[in-house]
Structure 1
């Protein structure tokens, strides 16, 4: 047994800069002094000079093979050392050692059936990776050794899962050089629930766009897909939209009737047929319900015989309205029959008390009428002088903001000798009245939201009537005036290709307060969704061919609605520009009988262009070369005369007969 022994409190193979505890074991009872040294590359270095401590800490600075040597001697000894012991130690370059540094997941919360990517960060060279799953104590190999440092996994079970990663050098004979694991919990997917299903379009009319908005309760709304199925009165099904990320669904109905709309939703990673569904019942009409808002005359009763009396009807609804005017008096009855004019001029020939009634219906309506109104009118022998309204000039539009002013200027037959009064109604309730004055201009500012009507009354200053003539004007007041899209203008090439810049400009009513956003879909897939902006211009640069759908939404900048108006633009982006500018060159200037003539065709645009050749000989076209990549044709004429050659060109994937062509004439001598 050696008098002293050296003990290293670490494996004899470790990494550079790792501290090593060197301990000397004294097998004698004699008290000794100790000196510590290390040898590396033929060079010896003192770690610690002689002292009573029997241990020290040493850290190798570079990788390689080391020899640790300890001298021991008695305190009274004059020798360099009395005893000696050594040990071998090897350090490795940490950057070249195969070692797992980190295992990471691509998501914070792991959900069942949703793709999960596990990535391993490892040091070393020529590394192989192996992945195993441990669940409920059972180990399953997911991916055997390969050079890929990742694992794509779709969890199928809820609960705790442990993924074990083993790595090794390509040349290693060990089962693994390093092993680490990561544990996580697989959660059950949050249920996608339809929270609200409603039509944004107020009136559901045949051949007009109807928009339905599907609102879901889900934390990851961008992952939700929507499917829409229409069910008619005969229980026939029609898919309006297959599963898509588009939650604002628009469509048209070509036939009036009662329908059901089934909307199904699911997470894009869900294996279910659907996660939730809802049905909404709706009725489509041929037109908006016909309703008479007012039926008025341009003069007030009574009037004299042979006076011109003009009646006017103001209606809403319908597509093509017709009007039937009926006049009744003591068994006398006259009617115009249904006509398209919303005004009727009556010139009574007899005195008496009359009833004038107007019936209104749409031209397509099969019933007798859809709405009617009537008034009473007295015709006398002599006429009193009464005022007439000639015109009403309006400033402010039919839609204004609460607090803004709307103005009317009344033109009558005798403004200086007439008096004017005004009455304002909101939702059919009188809220303001201005008595008779000589004011021909009336200004009013609405204080609340609603449908307003302004009754304008005129009478001669000597008249005892409530009014001699009156008329109605209508407007709507909003907290924020809706910003409706009028049209979308695009600036682009006639046939855009990838790389072409396409500029869109949105024309919006009430543009100063309008903000717009847009969605871009390519072949039905949502690829871009912008935020609301006050800039009415935007541009896109297509990166691939396909059918592009641009949905543009607008709203007032102060509105809390998702949008107030929507319009769409569809266009096709070709992978390449179409074939154009076809040219034909001939290899000889003078064409002679029995001498070959070669025609070479060229063009611009297109992709993998194919060429088809025809020859017109004696007034009859003959196909001489089917479509192929060969761009030339050699022809040998056997008789003199006038000839024509036609070449058709198209891209290889084009289904049209041709994209461009060229015809040349030549003479053979």
Structure 2
């Protein structure tokens, strides 16, 4: 054997004053010196410093739970010690066997499990005291009481031991009998963060940013996650405290560079965290600004005095500003404005350059994007051609296969002709040549983005068109589901056992299916498939926050959902405690005479009460929360007194729900 072991001449337990010889068995085939130590309740005494002797005599002076330790080192070694060996030893022998057995529900546990201990005895009644050995110290976890059972959460890994001391009720001894049982606590598998990402595609100011973390851990374990936002100056803010939610979201109010720190831990872990990960991200004020289109409603050349509308179509930005500059013989400058169009009435013929500049309101430069158009104005000769409007038969979403009809109203000229161009996703697929017919219709057979360009010119015009108009149309395979209203009982208090019915009012009801996800106190407890039913009902069985996420989609939709709404209600075990009042069985209050105060209240469930007394200017807690709704008090001085009672439902997390104060004077 290649080890160092120790044993004693007398087996544990022994009575105090016993002569115990501690022996060392050196199986290491090395020349060693030894240091002998005895520990009790965290205090260590040295019996003999490093010596070559392989035994030492120990005479304990008092009862207790001891740890015997021998340190050994090589004679020529540089370390404080090279080997160590320990053993437990109990001083204090029982005169009577009271404990017949100690039973634990499981001697192989994982960190954070509960250990349940039951003590069986040979007589009744008895008192019991419980100790647990943690590393090299015995710690009392429950003082003497009549309880022969104990539940304890194991908080450290390795070999553990529970010691039960027992004595008769009238015994003056520290204990009359004792017995111990060992158990093993296994470490948890480390929680490792395997993925940490942002689910939001555009990270913008004042928009919700959503992050998701994934981790590797033992199946069946509960893992908690905590998220901190850290700005560029290192200031940290908690976004989500420890919870089982792997997805965290918040609205960032200020652009800049940030980091998100995620801490992950097993719910029973003794560490502050088991793993952590950091995600760097940048929040922009807005999406970059692009000029998609800069057009005029009339093609050039045009005549003097004609009102020409300049139209801008922009992508990006948050609060976009537009500036229109006309450069030529008669220049104009609109200055920056919020209007995406500008009406220019030409006053002088010539060649002009039309300039569009755009920027966000927060941008301090001259512009972020710029676009140019050339334009020609002729001498005024006849009334200009102008499109007054294009009327569509569809004012909402358009489904593929439906007929789209458009009617053009135009004015000016001598004999107006109308032409139409239809484009899909920017590619022309239909051209209707000029005619006197101002009506057009077509049937889109595929979904996508369409443009209907209407061109109008005078019969005698030499130009391709005198004015034009472009209308964008979105053609869909189906009409996305929309939840207009959620109807549910408008009540101040929802109680356990009340049926809660949610009615979803949707558009295009027959083609809409809905999925319901019920969460209670942040935990998902029910999730339906997509069903045609528009009514969802549930009966809460216990108090808490009930949230129903409602996902709606068209039956033809290939997306996860088209529309999402939610309902959140608080469910209470009972109505709040109200109308609390203190009554007394005495009309007069005399010194040294007991007086009993009784509390009456309404509402609540399993109501508990806590009493305070104001005496000599100080409030003192005299009875902690319990079901006992009365308190007996003896005033010993002639003085003014006040009694305060706080009350609440037993399982309420609030400090109290109602209270009452009664003042009295003792004579």
TM-score normalised per structure 1: 0.54
Shift in Å, 1:236? 0.3
Any residues of structure 2 matched to 1:188-227 within 5 Å, and which?
Answer: 189=189, 191-200=191-200, 202-217=201-216, 220=219, 223-227=222-226
Shift in Å, 1:238? 0.3
CA distance, structure 1, for counterparts of residue 445 and residue 185 of structure 2: 63
Any residues of structure 2 matched to 1:59-458 within 5 Å, and which?
Answer: 112-113=110-111, 115=113, 154=154, 189=189, 191-200=191-200, 202-217=201-216, 220=219, 223-330=222-329, 332-381=330-379, 382=381, 386=385, 388=387, 390-393=389-392, 395=394, 397=396, 404-405=400-401, 408-413=404-409, 417-425=417-425, 430-437=426-433, 440-446=440-446, 452-458=449-455
| 2:531 is the alignment partner of 1:550 | no
Count of aligned pairs between the two proteins: 462
Any residues of structure 2 matched to 1:515-594 within 5 Å, and which?
Answer: 515-522=514-521, 525-526=522-523, 528-534=525-531, 535-542=533-540, 548=545, 550=547, 552=549, 554=551, 556=553, 567-573=565-571, 575-576=574-575
CA distance, structure 2, for counterparts of residue 399 and residue 274 of structure 1: 54
Shift in Å, 1:549? 5.9
CA distance, structure 2, for counterparts of residue 560 and residue 280 of structure 1: 31
TM-score normalised per structure 2: 0.54
Shift in Å, 1:385? 7.0
Specify the SS of the correspondent of 2:253: coil
User: 1:493-532 deviations in whole A, cap 9, x for unaligned?
Assistant: 134344444333456677634533334343xx43634344
Could you list the runs of 5+ residues in structure 1 that have no partner in the other structure? 1-102, 121-125, 127-132, 134-141, 164-174, 176-180, 581-601, 611-628, 631-649, 660-669
Mapped contact 1:303–1:383 kept (Cα < 8 A): no
CA distance, structure 2, for counterparts of residue 247 and residue 509 of structure 1: 33
Shift in Å, 1:302? 1.9
> Which structure has the larger Rg over C-alpha atoms?
1
Shift in Å, 1:541? 4.2
Mapped contact 1:459–1:465 kept (Cα < 8 A): no
Specify the SS of the correspondent of 1:269: coil
Mapped contact 2:291–2:369 kept (Cα < 8 A): yes
CA distance, structure 1, for counterparts of residue 221 and residue 442 of structure 2: 52
Shift in Å, 1:354? 1.8
Specify the SS of the correspondent of 1:491: coil
CA distance, structure 1, for counterparts of residue 482 and residue 269 of structure 2: 38
CA distance, structure 1, for counterparts of residue 289 and residue 240 of structure 2: 32
CA 1:578–1:487: 2 relative to 1, 3 Å: farther
Q: Aligned residue for 2:39? A: none
Mapped contact 1:357–1:374 kept (Cα < 8 A): yes
CA distance, structure 1, for counterparts of residue 287 and residue 220 of structure 2: 35
Give the superposed CA RMSD. Answer: 5.8
User: 1:602-632 deviations in whole A, cap 9, x for unaligned?
Assistant: 998689999xxxxxxxxxxxxxxxxxx99xx
Shift in Å, 1:433? 1.7
Shift in Å, 1:309? 1.7
Could you list the runs of 5+ residues in structure 2 that have no partner in the other structure? 1-103, 119-123, 125-131, 133-140, 163-176, 580-599, 610-628, 631-644, 649-653, 660-667
Q: Aligned residue for 2:72? A: none
Mapped contact 1:389–1:411 kept (Cα < 8 A): no
CA distance, structure 2, for counterparts of residue 248 and residue 484 of structure 1: 25
Any residues of structure 2 matched to 1:464-479 within 5 Å, and which?
Answer: 465-467=463-465, 468-475=467-474
CA 1:657–1:333: 2 relative to 1, 3 Å: farther
CA 1:287–1:378: 2 relative to 1, 3 Å: same
CA 1:513–1:249: 2 relative to 1, 3 Å: farther
Q: Aligned residue for 1:77? A: none
Mapped contact 1:105–1:119 kept (Cα < 8 A): no
User: 1:463-498 deviations in whole A, cap 9, x for unaligned?
Assistant: 6644440314153868x8765766655423134344
Mapped contact 2:196–2:279 kept (Cα < 8 A): no
CA 1:571–1:432: 2 relative to 1, 3 Å: same
User: 1:569-628 deviations in whole A, cap 9, x for unaligned?
Assistant: 555555415869xxxxxxxxxxxxxxxxxxxxx998689999xxxxxxxxxxxxxxxxxx
CA 1:558–1:406: 2 relative to 1, 3 Å: closer
